[in-house]
Amino acid sequence: MSNNKNALITGVTGQDGAYLSKLLLEKGYSVHGVLARRSTDTLWRLRELGIENEVKLVDGDLTDLSSLIRAMEISKADEVYNLGAQSFVGTSWQQPILTAQVDGVGVINVLEAVRIVNPKAHFYQASTSEMFGLIQADMQDETTPFYPRSPYGVAKLMGHWATVNYRESFGLHASSGILFNHESPLRGIEFVTRKVTDAVARIKLGRQKELRLGNIDSKRDWGFAGDYVEAMWLMTQQPEADDYVVATGLTTTVRDMVEIAFGHVGLNTGDHLVIDPQFFRPAEVDVLLGNPAKAIARLGWKPRTSLQQLITMMVDADLRRLQG
């Protein structure tokens, strides 16, 4: 049933865009999504969730202010979720300028479109734990200083501060969610969890022999994307906009995550894992561990999916996909 609210999502074809669209549709929103022009089909995630025909798509790009203004006008958005980004850290060293334009300047473009068309709209910015980079505290929260370690982290920091600045300068209801890594069966294949679960499924089915990875000593605070989009929505419902860390409060090495995946299908990691220098990065974020206490206390949010549940869910989904 309709709740008479309109949402506009950039990055609607991405992992989080798909889960957030589903959540908002279930809550009765009319959901518009900004669709960046591509020559290939990018709607597979919306299709997998069965909502391809329910999300209304508007052509646009984060680097094109006029298209964002049009998207604001067409959608009549009350809530705007800026999830669009060049989101792969590894690529940001190959395309630093594009990453800055999309992930940094692009945020200002969306904020301007909001300010011009409907300054009363509530705005959510997809900020990231990558901004902590070379961590300045063992457990990172909203007060921890930032030290980005990639062009992606640098660009995201610009978007983060732009969000804070538009809140303080123009009174926009602009919140920034500092989300730690979150994954799902809809995760892009280039990210390490999905690369692993897809490879494990292929190896199990006899279609691949090796899994080649880079640094398996790094540690991440991994949660489930389906849980994390709830935090995004909760932020836009608050009377005052603010910034929140969203994390599980647990950290695990890539190595141990890989063990969970192989163990789930009864295979031995050592028989298949190959360390390949090409997957190491020019600078690494060695460890991330978030403290979600503020989100728990103020939003009433909490993570509900363990890493074990998450990785086994992803392996099972990849097995199902590969078996047709």
Contact 110, 80 (CB under 8 A): yes
CB closer to ligand NAP, 11 vs 226: 11
Counting contacts by CB under 6 A, is residue 107 touching ligand GDD? no
Stretch that binds ligand NAP, among 35-43, 111-119, 143-151, 257-265 (CB under 6 A): 35-43
Using CA atoms, how far apart are residues 53 and 136, in angstroms rounded to an integer? 45
188, interface contact from ligand GDD, ligand NAP, none, CB < 5-8 Å by kind: ligand NAP
Contact 58, 77 (CB under 8 A): no
Counting contacts by CB under 6 A, is residue 261 touching ligand GDD? no
At residue 126's C-alpha, the angle toward residues 43 and 193, to 5°, is 65
User: Given 130, 183, 230, 259, which residue is catalytic?
Assistant: 130
Radius of gyration of the chain (CA): 19
Write the interaction track for ligand GDD spanning residues 162-201; mark x where CB under 6 A is met and - where it is not: ------------------xx--------xxx--x------
Q: What are φ and ψ of residue 219, in 5° steps?
A: -120, 140
Write the interaction track for ligand GDD spanning residues 127-156; mark x where CB under 6 A is met and - where it is not: -xxx--------------------------
290, interface contact from ligand NAP, ligand GDD, none, CB < 5-8 Å by kind: none
Using CA atoms, how far apart are residues 77 and 6, in angstroms rounded to an integer? 5
Whether 166 is catalytic is no
Residues β-bridged to residue 140: 290
Look up tokens 């403290």; give the residue: 291
Whether 152 is catalytic is yes
Using CA atoms, how far apart are residues 210 and 138, in angstroms rounded to an integer? 34
CB closer to ligand NAP, 14 vs 133: 14
Secondary-structure breakdown of the chain: helix, strand, coil percentages, each rounded to the nearest 5: 45, 15, 40
> Nearest distance from residue 128's CB to ligand GDD, in Å?
3
190, interface contact from ligand NAP, ligand GDD, none, CB < 5-8 Å by kind: ligand GDD
Contact 78, 121 (CB under 8 A): yes
Enter the tokens of residue 37.
């022009």
**Using the rule CB under 6 A, which residue among 179, 192, 254, 307 binds ligand NAP?**
179
Question: Total number of residues binding ligand GDD (CB under 6 A)?
Answer: 23
Counting contacts by CB under 6 A, is residue 208 touching ligand GDD? no
The SS3 assignment for 261 reads helix
Whether 29 is catalytic is no
The SS3 assignment for 72 reads helix
Q: What are the catalytic residues? A: 128, 130, 152
Q: What are the residues binding ligand NAP (CB under 6 A)?
A: 10-17, 34, 36, 38, 42, 61-63, 83-87, 102, 126, 128, 179, 181-182, 188
